Chains A and B, each alone.
Chain A
């Protein structure tokens, strides 16, 4: 065996265990001390040690346990030497205590759910929850996260450091909330995962690698949440919603890279396996009898993809679902989509009447002006439609969508 091969194998093994175990290891190492940054540092040293040692001595039979042991040793050394000014005995005691939770077969308890709840704690700034999860559960670096969230790497790194400090210093627990507070707390975990997905979704062409990966990472988080909370209808609803959206990723562009709107997409280009998985999840979620935003949004997607089977989207169902969503969320974005659905069932006049007025926020929101332009064009108000398209074009950052809007405007 050449050294090159050994290196490659060791790297592959380390990458595989990083993918599946990173969050588990961070959660385990930080659960007692609440010091996420120290756990991450210790873990990255353990990975470096693995890359040095595995090619020579071979991969250990249980790489996860190997990494955990090395990282824990680093953590103890760190508590002894680096923090001499502070009282390290508490940390050492807590690290020792965490040993007691390892089972006889060497497996460590999966505390990732508790870690997710810590990241999405109400005491953590809502805007940093999604980035924080991506970093501590999946090991993404601040640079990749910053790029996906259109923030400077420096600013993102600072916000992440501050959030980890808050967890440690304010004593935010790694704990799954009690039954009665669970519904409220789950919402912020799911919202953060959805925010991560939405950031990744805004690059439909998949040209920006950081964003495309982010959608995949968010899908991983949504799967994790559904797996860890199998009886929570909204966790299943979110996974279904993300799967419906992912199933159409390829269909959003034609071969020439042009934007293809939903109603013009070829159902044959959709990922049927993902759609079937989403449908099964949604049925299971509905059976749990706790309706919520993500299940409703997933149900809207389900009504759209009904076109796979019947050749036509189920528009009356879409309108009804948006009615319910609007009551639940009062979101102007929902109101826009509802108006577009009403155009299919009750005609253009009713749809225009259902559009919300442009406030300061909606005024800067491209899909609002695109929807208004589309409806005005259908009603024959061509001059107004032209102006609305002009605003939409000016607000769009995606070149393919900009071209699409320009074509629509030119066709008036």
Chain B
């Protein structure tokens, strides 16, 4: 099964880190991504730019409404994702727990709806 890890964390926290801490943080993510790749479970992953760069689009009455900002203003923001392929939820949770994001934020684990051609 495929699971999407949605990494939520307080964006402001990153800016308060020293350069050395930021470097250490990036290295931890790199190591984690490598571990996923080595085990053959990684399908894809990306880090997202901050919500200040987000734009929302919604079509109402045939007209598109475009707004500056994220979909929802929350205390913690979606900052990145991993898409993994593992046998079951326990395996997914074990991988999610190893993600550095689980220590400085919260990870939502969502099963991916399977498609015929997956």
B21-45 CB contacts (< 8 Å) to partner A? none
Query: Sorted from nearest, which 9 A-B pairs have the closest CB atoms?
Result: A173-B88, A171-B88, A171-B1, A171-B89, A172-B89, A170-B89, A170-B111, A173-B90, A87-B116
CA A172 to CA B116, docked complex, whole Å: 21
Q: How many A-B residue pairs have CB under 8 A?
A: 26
- Chain A residues in 8 Å Cβ range of B111: 169-171
* B90 nearest CB across to chain A (Å): 5
Q: Is B114 in the interface zone, CB < 8 Å from A? A: yes
Q: Is the CB of B92 within 8 A of A171?
A: yes
Q: Does A330 contact B (CB under 8 A)?
A: no
- List B46-104 residues whose CB lies under 8 Å from chain A: 87-90, 92-93
Q: How far is the CB of A177 from chain B (nearest CB, A)?
A: 8
Give the contacts of A168-189 with B (CB-CB under 8 A): 169-173, 175, 177
The answer to whether B116 and A173 have CB atoms under 8 Å apart is no
Residues in A whose Cβ lies below 8 Å from that of B90: 172-173, 175, 177
Q: Is the CB of B87 within 8 A of A173?
A: yes
A87 contacts B88, C-beta separation under 8 Å:
no
15 contacts between A and B (CB under 8 A): A121-B89, A123-B93, A169-B111, A170-B89, A171-B1, A171-B3, A171-B87, A171-B88, A171-B89, A171-B111, A172-B88, A172-B89, A172-B90, A173-B87, A173-B88
Residues of A contacting B92 in the complex (Cβ-Cβ under 8 angstroms): 171
Please tell me if the beta carbons of B89 and A123 are within 8 angstroms of each other in the complex.
yes
Point out the residues of chain B lying under 8 angstroms from A175, CB to CB.
88, 90
In the bound complex, residues from chain A placing their C-beta under 8 Å from that of B87 are 171, 173
Inter-chain contacts of A87 with B (CB < 8 A): 114, 116
Contacts of B89 in A (CB 8 A): 121, 123, 170-173
Q: How far is the CA of A90 from the CA of B93 in the complex (A)?
A: 23
Bound CA span A175–B87, Å: 12
Nearest Cβ on chain A to B106's Cβ, whole angstroms? 15
CB nearest neighbor in B for A174: B88
CB distance from A164 to the nearest CB of B (A): 14
Closest to A122 in B: B93
Closest to B93 in A: A123
User: Which residues of B lie under 8 Å from residue A123 when comparing CB positions?
Assistant: 89, 93
CA distance A333 to B71 in the complex (A): 45
Report the separation of the CA atoms of residues A171 and B111 in the bound assembly, to the nearest whole angstrom. Answer: 8
Q: Which of A123, A169, A171, A172 has the most CB of B within 10 A?
A: A171
Taking CB as reference atom, which chain B residue is nearest A89? Answer: B116
Chain B residues, CB < 8 A from A169: 111
Q: Which residues of B contact A171 (CB under 8 A)?
A: 1, 3, 87-89, 92, 111
List, in ascending order, chain A residues with CB within 8 A of B116's CB. 87
The answer for the CA separation of A173 and B87 in the assembled complex, in Å, is 9
Which positions 150-179 of chain A face chain B at CB distance < 8 Å?
169-173, 175, 177
With both beta carbons as reference points, the residue of chain A lying nearest to B94 in the complex is identified as A181
What is the 8 Å Cβ interface bit string for chain A, positions 18-43, against chain B (1 contact, 0 not)? 00000000000000000000000000
**B92 to A: closest C-beta gap in Å:** 7
Q: Which among A123, A169, A170 has the greatest number of chain B C-beta atoms within 10 A?
A: A170
Closest partner residue, chain A, to B114 (CB atom): A87
The CA-CA distance from A248 to B90 in the complex, in Å, is 41
A172 to B93, CA, bound (A): 10
Considering only CB atoms, which chain B residue lies closest to A185 in the complex? B90
- Note all chain B residues with C-beta closer than 8 A to A177: 90
The interface residues of chain A lying within 8 Å CB-to-CB of B114 are 87, 90
Which residue of chain A lies nearest to B116 when distances are taken between CB atoms in the complex? A87
How far does the Cβ of A180 sit from chain B's closest Cβ, in whole Å?
Answer: 11
Chain B, Cβ-Cβ closest to A177? B90
Residue of B nearest to A168 (CB): B111
